Structures are given as structure tokens and as C-alpha cells.
A and B are shown apart, each in its own frame.
Chain A
Amino acid sequence: EYSALQNPLFRPGLDYWLETKRTLLQPHDTMPAEMAAQLESSLLNCPDSLDADTPKLYQTPLSLPHPTSIFFPNETIRLVSNDPVDPSKNHQKHNDIYSRTSMGRIMSKFDLDTLFFIFYHYQGTYEQFLAARELTIRGWQFNKLNRCWFYKEVEKLPPGMEQSEEISWRYFDYQKSWLARRCGADFVYREEEFERI
């Protein structure tokens, strides 16, 4: 009787909706044939993992122009793998939800070049995220200001020297040379410049 429900847009949907309340209050003792048929139909149409996957309406083109073979497939291969995780990996990120996914595992086999390519060319994507994760696992850090990945190299010096270790920094030059380069002697590490991943 509420005026809102008098809306003609709601007929006959509202009537069907009310019917279901009756069933809820008094469920059938044994499953009627019609219900069994509907249940069967639901089973046949059961949504699968593709139906449940994250929607992608706009396909981002590669973020930086870079030649790629037309023979490479557009879809990423995401096969289900239930191989147990290697317990010898002790980095905390090794035990996160991504370590079990096939993409996460494939990334751990990629070399740095491939990881940087994915990071810079697939911006805003799940793949970029995983590449960043893998780089972090390998000890690289992302600088928010110059958008480069940096790596701290610690070299143990022979005993008897003034210092026990020598620290040098490298960064990956994605804009020009596409190579890892040593940082100049004037490089100063400032923690706040780096993304906490």
C-alpha cells in the first residue's frame, strides 16, 4: 500500500518478489518439480571463474611506445596451478596471496629487464603491481620523485680495513639507456622519497 510501491514500473516484478516471501515463510516439504527444474537450470548456468573475473572495459594500450610482436597474445595466460609453495623462501612477501597465483610465480622467473618492461609499459595494471612486488622481493626500491628503481649493493670488505662494508647504489635508467647505472658519489638516500610497497 505504500505509494512508492504503487509505481507501475514495479509490476509484475513486485508480485513475483512477494511470491518468494511466501516460499521463505513456508518452504516446501519436498522439492516440487518446478523448483528442481530451476535448480538444475541454475547448475547448468553456474557462473565460472571467467564470469567472476575483474571487469576490464577499457584496454590500456602500452603506456610507453615500444615495439612488440604482433604474434604475442593479448590475453595473459592465467592457468590454475596448485603446486605447493616453496617453504624455503623466507621473504614475507613470499607468503602473501599473490605468491600462490601463476602470474606471481611466473614473475619470480623473469629477469630484471622483463620486470622493468612490464612495470613501465603496463601502468595501472595488475601485471605492473606484480612486477613491482617482484622487484621489491629482489631488494629494489621505487623512487617517487624520479620514478626509477634503485638497488643498494652492499659489498663486504676484507677484515682489517677501516670499514667492514662498502655501499653503492644503482638505479635503472628507463628513460634513456634502459640499463642499470651506478649512482654518482653525491647520491644521498632519503627514505621519504621512496615508495613503501
Chain B
Amino acid sequence: TNQEKMFLVFTEWVKLLQRVPDDDVKVTVFIRQMMDKGVIKSTENVIQFTKAAIELSVGSFKESDPASEVFIAADAFSKLIVKLLVVQVFTSLSRSEYLKLMLSVITIVFSEDQGMTGNSFNERPYFRLISSLLCQWEEASAHNFIKVQDQSYRNELIDFSPEFYNIIASFLHAFQPIAYPGFSFAWITLISHRMFLPKMLRLPGKAGWSKLVLLFTDLLKFMAQYTKKSDVPDAVSVVYKGALRVFLAVANDAPGFLVENHYELLNNLPPVYMQLRNVILSAIPKNMVLPNPYDAELRISDVEACQHVPNVYYDPVQDLKSLKKPVDNYLRIPSASLSRMVSTSLFKPGYEKDTGIGYDSVSVDTKLINAIVLHVGIEAALEKDKTTATAIFNTKSSYYTLLTSMLSDGNTEVRFHVVQAIANQLRFPNAHTHWFNYVLKNFFISEDWGQDTAEIQEIIVRTLLERVVTNKPHCWGIVVTFTELLRSSECSIMTLPFVKDIPEIEHIIKHL
């Protein structure tokens, strides 16, 4: 049968690669013959051959003695994929389409395997295939495909390489843990693979960042979904440990990625993961030296870095949807009707379970609140650059009053999430940290809250406290802001009812 013929050809390929080096002319001749003899001439054949090859690779893994070389076929298959991408001339189908076609077939075989085998599904051969594919692409593409003689082909391949990684990323997105829990650990190992993650982080023009954020979001969503307060399955704890190490590695190698993508990452981060949140928010641009945040002489307005506006890779304005116009109009010309429109649009149609500290459901659209707060901060910083600092460091500015109206119009839940969103912007010294520090300080001492003063102050203290009471790291902006409040003579925290009436809190605050 055709399938048997495909099996035979693939087996010969596997044997050939064990006998000669992969840059031997016989390897290229073999591939040429595969094409000439119609083994992979048409799309239909490519599909059939890919299916045969992946089935053989997985099958030979399952049948091999575990102590032997179990991945020979998978390694040979990944080498074939790379060779096919590099040596072929693409006319009817593009290189991208060709790769997607092969990966689609692999996806379907993978789906069938895990669907049929259930709990006895073994992720390893599929992991190995993609891992080897990444290793071999790295080898082929080294020094801008210097091994490719023809300059125009070389340029084609150079242009294609970022596509290669983004296509792999797209398929990894489809294999995410919520969809294929039986592949979870292989998946996390793949998104952090040494031949994938650093590459994606460093593609020119940040070409890999969108897909990376998507993949990290997939991971966080999985963790969020299955972290209920009391009964976190052990396996999910292990997932968390791995995720934490990966984020720490990213914070070390490419802090800029966390710096610029904090908004999207935090939108999907379970609120109970306090330390992980701090890890993401404490990322600082490479080579930046932080002034000591505990220094009594420190004036945030004197820190030179606070003049610089941090880059935000994904513009939160896209998440404002129907509120974009009212918010932007308010910032230009504030009016009570506009602020009311914003305040009444913050609720979701129903309750949603969420695991917070002290609450287990959410009825506000936290993503929308985060978007509004960050957007206002971005606009405020832009305004300051256009005009003067006094335009925004001003409790009468529309930037400030929009946020105050959200607090005064809102209930406890709204207030809590608005303050949380503000606290998320208190990071390394920059223009946003600087402005939001101003906002939070003034919220705290403001006399305009009337009967709601105690509640708002308590929410502010709680928000700052929960971020410094955890193990390190702590965000510079949080420490600076909290230190200022603790030292403030205008309003002694120790006299506030929610502090002095609760011995544990009084003790902690006194200690701080």
C-alpha cells in the first residue's frame, strides 16, 4: 500500500542518517529522489508521508527498549523537516504553508494518540520531535544560514526564520495545558526550551513577543483555572514551581520583556500568586541602578529616571472598547456625565469565581479597570511631556479626577480593584511610577472621601502591605510609596481604626 511504501522510505531515511553526516551529498540526493519519485510531490503525498513518519517515530519510541536510543526516528524526522524547508524551491506552496501543513498533520496524529490512549498517553516522542526540530533549525540557521551558498536562497531563509519560530509558537498555543493536560509538562519544557525562548525574546523588532505573551498567558490561565484556595492538586503546584523558575530566568536574561508586557501578563495572573506578581513587576531595565527605596532622604521627584516614560508593548487602549471615547473625552474636558458613564460600565453581567485573599468572587471587569487605569497613566505621562509636570501633578487635573470619581462612585469591590491596578504601576523609577505614587499618596490624605475615607485608606494600606509582606522581591515603587505613607506626618497610619483596632496589623505596621 501507499502507506507501507511511505514507511519504507522513511525507514531508509532513518538508516541513511545514521551512516553518513547530514551534510553528505547522499542526503540531498535522497531527498531529491523522494521528490522525483513522487513520495512528497503533491500536498496529498506530503500529508500521507508526514502521517507515516510521525506514526513510525512515535511507534518506534513506544517499542524501543527504554535503555536504548529511543528517539532515533523522531530525530531523523525532525532533520528531514528542516532539510525540506531549506533545500526545496517553493513555488505553489510557501515555506510557511509547507511547515504549517506538516505540523497540522502532526497535530492531528497527536490528538488521536492522546484521545485514544487517555491516561497512558506518553508525551515524550512528541516533545522530542519539536525539541530536535528546534535544535536542528538552530544549526541550519546559524550565522544567518551561512552554509547556504546561493545568496538569494539565503535571504529567503533569513526572512523566513522569524516565521519559523512564530509558527512553532502557534502550534504550541494549540497544545496548551487546558487543551491537552496530558502534554502539560512537555509543553512547559518546550516554551522555555533553550532553542526557543531566548530566540523568541531576541527576534529583531520584538517579532516574537506577541506569541510569547500568548504562551505565557496560556500557562497563567491554566494555573489560574486550577488554583482553588484549599485544594490545589500537587501536579499544579509542580507546574507553579516550574513557571516561577522560568519567569525568574526571563527576569534575569530579558527583563525588558517583563517590563514592557506587565499589563498583559498580570491580566491573567491568579491574584493569590503574590510573589510571582512581584517577580514580574520588579523586573527592571538592564543596567538600571535603583536608588535605595528605604533612604529617608529620597524624594521620588528628584530621581532622574522618573522623567522617562516606560514603553508598554501592548496598548491598553485596545481593551477600553466602548469606553475609549468617554475616557478620552473626559481627559480632555472632564464632566460628571462622562465619569458616571465610566463608573457604571465597570461591572460584569454576573459573578465569576476568583481566588483572592478575602474574596472568592468578582463582579467587576478587572481587565477593564486595569486598562482604564494604565491608559490614564500613559496619557498623563504624555501630557507631562507635552506641557508641564504641574498639568498632571495636580489634584484638579482630569487624569487625577477620573480616578477619584471611580473610587467615590464605586463600591468596595471597585475601589479595591482600582487601587490594585494603580499599585501594579508602582514599579521601577519611571514616569508612570512617579505619577501613580502621587495619585496614591493624595488618595490617602484626601479629605474628599467623606464617610468613605476609612475604607479607602484601608484598601490602600492593605494593597501596599500585601506586596511587601511577602518574600522578596518587592517593587521599588511600592516600597517608596509605603515608606512615604508610614513616615507621613499628615496622617499617622498608627492612629487609623483598622490598624489600632487589630493587634496583628498594628504589630506589623509598627514593625515596618
Residues of A within 8 A of B (CB): 7, 9-10, 12-17, 19-21, 23-24, 27-31, 34-43, 45-47, 51-52, 54-55, 57-58, 60, 124
Contact = CB atoms under 8 A, between A and B. Distances in A.
Contact of B131 (A9, A20, A52, A60): A52
A47 B71 CA distance: 12
Nearest to A40: B235
B180 A55 contact: no
Most buried by B among A13, A29, A39: A39
B189 A55 contact: no
A39 B290 CA distance: 42
Contacts, number: 137
Given A23-B179, A31-B226, A42-B186, A37 B119 contact: yes
Contacts of B226: 30-31
A30 B119 contact: no
A41 B119 contact: yes
A20 B171 CA distance: 13
Contacts of A24: 176, 178-179
Interface stretch (B13-21, B277-285, B302-310, B380-388): B13-21
Nearest to A43: B235
B429 to A, nearest CB: 27
Contact of B21 (A12, A13, A39, A58): A58
Contact of B135 (A9, A13, A19, A54): A54
Given A20-B180, A23-B178, A47-B131, 9 more contacts: A9-B105, A13-B108, A14-B108, A17-B111, A30-B226, A31-B236, A37-B119, A47-B128, A51-B128
Given A9-B51, A13-B111, A60-B21, A47 B72 contact: no
Contacts of B124: 45, 47, 51
B356 interface: no
**Chain A facing B: main interface SS:** helix
Given A16-B115, A17-B107, A46-B186, A51 B180 contact: no
B123 A57 contact: no
B47 interface: yes
Contacts of A36: 233, 235
Interface of B: 17-22, 44, 47-48, 51, 71-72, 75-76, 78-79, 105, 107-112, 114-116, 118-124, 127-128, 131-132, 135-136, 174, 176-186, 189, 193-194, 221, 225-226, 228, 233, 235-236, 238, 353
Contacts of B353: 29
17 contacts: A7-B47, A9-B105, A13-B108, A13-B111, A15-B115, A30-B228, A34-B118, A38-B119, A40-B119, A42-B181, A42-B182, A42-B183, A43-B185, A45-B185, A51-B128, A57-B17, A58-B21
- Report the 4 A-B pairs with minimum CB-CB distance, sorted nearest first: A16-B115, A13-B112, A55-B75, A13-B108
B82 to A, nearest CB: 11
Contacts of A60: 21
B438 to A, nearest CB: 40
Contacts of B48: 9
A107 to B, nearest CB: 20
B503 to A, nearest CB: 37
Contacts of A9: 47-48, 51, 105, 108
A37 B75 CA distance: 29
A57 B57 CA distance: 14
Contacts of B184: 39, 42-43
Nearest to B107: A17
Contacts of A54: 132, 135
B118 A38 contact: yes
A54 B82 CA distance: 14
Contacts of B123: 42, 45, 47
Contacts of A31: 226, 233, 236
B127 to A, nearest CB: 5
A51 B111 contact: no
